Chains A and B, each alone.
Chain A
Amino acid sequence: MRFGVVVFPGTWSDRDCGWVIDQVLGPDCELRYLWHKDRDLKGVDCVILPGGFSYGDYLRSGAIARFAPLMESVIEFADRGGLVWGICNGFQVLCEAGLLPGALIRNQVLEFRCEWTHLLVEQTDNPFTALCERRQVLRIPIAHGEGNYFADPATLAALEEADQVVFRYCDPNGLVVPSANPNGSLHNIAGVINQRGNVLGMMPHPERCSEAELGGTDGLLLFRSVAEHALRALTA
């Protein structure tokens, strides 16, 4: 299968995602970098919008990136059911583009938070967490200043009702408590998926914990989930 990693000016996690795909995942996975000014998705099976500060985060995080020529292709790809995975700044871009509900505002603590977090996996019937156990606790780091998930009460209720919250910040034992919430996100939300189940946004960085040398491998579970899903789809 083929992963595409989008590069905007100011993206910083593209090479980390690329490394995992190219060096860690195995020979069945190919990598293509997708430049923001292009429109060609190069036949990829999954588009990753990685972390960083696209266009300097000017105006609002992700606000300018959503108008990049490539994003038109990404939105069409998502509309056709293609897998789109937004990580950190990528999550912000997906919300700004309207592919995911809600918005990410400044951290409640007014700090840039760069630390390990624990995530409760609430949903596993999607391509991104299929290899996780339901209610498994993953240890994945965050690095952001604007990861405070907000949605109006009706949207939030609809998300919960439709089981679209995939990850919640929790303590090491899997308890979703305020003290485990690093940024003030409503309902401790760390990641949400669209209704169709093909567009995921998450603030934590799985690409930074996909090798034991980096302190953990929980992130690799998500990359492997996507790869296996895509390979199954290709051979079906």
Chain B
Amino acid sequence: MKLLAKVVVTPKPVVNDPQGVTVGQGLRSLGFGEVEEVRVGKYLEIRLDADGEREARERVADMCRKLLANGVIEDFKFEVMARS
């Protein structure tokens, strides 16, 4: 089953994100005064050939815990979908 996992890794709310602060300042100085906060994370696309969506979800969660996110400083979320 050809699947695509879209993984988003973000700094935990308690972790200071100097990149996000700086990007937020940049946006505000460009006139986007409504910007209250920016958090900078990572986006990963993973192409999978798996037995099923449920199995794939478990495997992707495992990938996140073991490598893609550092649980000390980052949270992750993902979705898994069919691909052609």
Contacts and interface: CB of A to CB of B under 8 A. Distances in A.
Whether A and B are associated in the same complex: the answer reads yes
Interface of A: 59-60, 63, 67, 95-96, 101-103, 105-110, 148, 150-152, 184
Among B11, B14, B16, find the residue whose CB has the most chain A CB atoms closer than 10 A: B16
A96 B22 CA distance: 26
A152 B70 CA distance: 13
A107 B19 CA distance: 9
Interface of B: 11, 14-16, 18-19, 22, 42, 67-68, 70, 72-73
A63 B73 contact: no
B73 A105 contact: yes
A60 B18 contact: no
A55 B52 CA distance: 32
Contacts of B22: 110
Contact of B73 (A108, A110, A150): A150
Contacts of B16: 105, 108, 148, 150, 184
Q: Top 7 A-B pairs ranked by shortest CB distance?
A: A103-B72, A103-B73, A108-B18, A110-B18, A103-B70, A106-B18, A60-B70
B18 A109 contact: yes
Among A102, A103, A107, A184, find the residue whose CB has the most chain B CB atoms closer than 10 A: A103
A121 B11 CA distance: 31
Among A96, A102, A105, A110, find the residue whose CB has the most chain B CB atoms closer than 10 A: A105
A63 B18 contact: no
Contacts of B14: 152
A106 to B, nearest CB: 6
B70 A96 contact: yes
Nearest to A101: B72
Nearest to A155: B72
A179 B9 CA distance: 32
A106 B73 CA distance: 11
Nearest to B44: A59
Contact of B72 (A59, A102, A110): A102
A107 B67 CA distance: 22
A184 B14 CA distance: 14
A134 to B, nearest CB: 29
A45 B42 CA distance: 39
A166 B16 CA distance: 23
Contacts of A101: 72
Contacts of A103: 70, 72-73
B76 to A, nearest CB: 12
Nearest to A67: B67
A113 to B, nearest CB: 13
